[in-house]
């Protein structure tokens, strides 16, 4: 599946959720932590989504992977920051937030790692590096899709496929 916007990426959505939970923690219990800890936690958690987004906007898979590696490292840093202070008695009120942030950061790492593994096994090396076979496949798929769309748009109301979801969607997408 291809994505048009980084906001639609599941890994970016998880990273955004992670950052928002960190903000919730800092809003509710920020005074329990040193200013340096708060600052670093804020920066590390925001770095996860920002690096996913920046990598997504790059041209090559190699560049994307480099930013995904940084995002994964930042998620690990957030998890480490939770682990370093988890046994301090003064932060008990924040423990539920911290447990959730730990889980969210682990989820981000898993998703990013899976994405990196997928990219490493892909024949596509980026937008500029499509192989002739991949370009041909993409062109054939686009031609097939266009043909199918035109076919569905040309159906008469008496045709058995006229009321299918696919035909209705084709007609809906063709409206101005």
Residue 59, classed as helix, strand or coil, is coil
Nearest residue to 81 via CA among 70, 66, 94: 94
Pair 121, 139 in one domain: no
Would you say residue 1 lies in a domain?
A: no
Number of domains in the chain: 2
- Asked whether the predicted pLDDT for residue 173 surpasses 90, the reply is no
Pair 109, 156 in one domain: no
Each residue's pLDDT tens digit, 141-162: 889 999 999 898 898 999 998 9
How many Cβ atoms from other residues are within 10 Å of residue 105's Cβ?
27
Each residue's pLDDT tens digit, 28-39: 999 999 999 999
Which residues, other chains included, contact 128 with Cβ-Cβ below 8 Å and sequence gap of 6+?
59, 60
* Mean pLDDT for the stretch of residues 48-53: 96
Pair 147, 113 in one domain: no
- Give yes or no for a contact between 54 and 137, defined as CB atoms under 8 angstroms apart: no
DSSP bridge pairs for 109: none
Q: At what angle do helices 35-56 and 95-120 cross, to 10 degrees?
A: 30
pLDDT attached to residue 109:
97
67 confidence band (pLDDT: 50, 70, 90): very high
Pair 95, 123 in one domain: yes
- Asked whether the predicted pLDDT for residue 103 surpasses 70, the reply is yes
- Asked whether the predicted pLDDT for residue 19 surpasses 90, the reply is yes
The pTM score is 0.71
> How much of the chain, in percent, has pLDDT values that exceed 90?
65
Per the structure, the complete domain to which residue 160 belongs is given by: 130-173
Q: How far apart are CA 9 and CA 147, in angstroms?
A: 29
Token pair 């590696």 in the structure block, residue: 69
Would you say residue 87 lies in a domain?
A: yes
């Amino acid at each position: 599946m291809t994505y048009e916007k980084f906001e639609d990426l599941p890994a970016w959505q998880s990273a955004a959720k992670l950052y928002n939970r960190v903000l919730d923690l800092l809003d509710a219990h920020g005074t329990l932590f040193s200013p340096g800890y708060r600052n670093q936690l804020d920066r590390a958690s925001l770095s996860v989504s920002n690096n996913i987004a920046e990598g997504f906007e790059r041209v090559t898979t190699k560049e994307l992977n480099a930013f995904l590696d940084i995002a994964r490292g930042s998620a690990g840093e957030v998890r480490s920051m939770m682990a370093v202070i988890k046994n301090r008695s003064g932060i008990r009120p924040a423990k539920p937030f911290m447990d959730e942030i730990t889980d969210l950061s682990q989820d981000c790492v898993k998703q990013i790692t899976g994405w990196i593994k997928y990219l490493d096994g892909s024949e596509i090396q980026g937008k500029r590096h499509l192989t002739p076979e991949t370009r041909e496949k993409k062109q054939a798929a686009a031609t097939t899709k266009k043909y199918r769309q035109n076919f569905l748009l040309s159906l008469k109301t008496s045709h058995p496929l006229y009321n299918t979801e696919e035909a209705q969607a084709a007609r809906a997408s063709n409206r101005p």
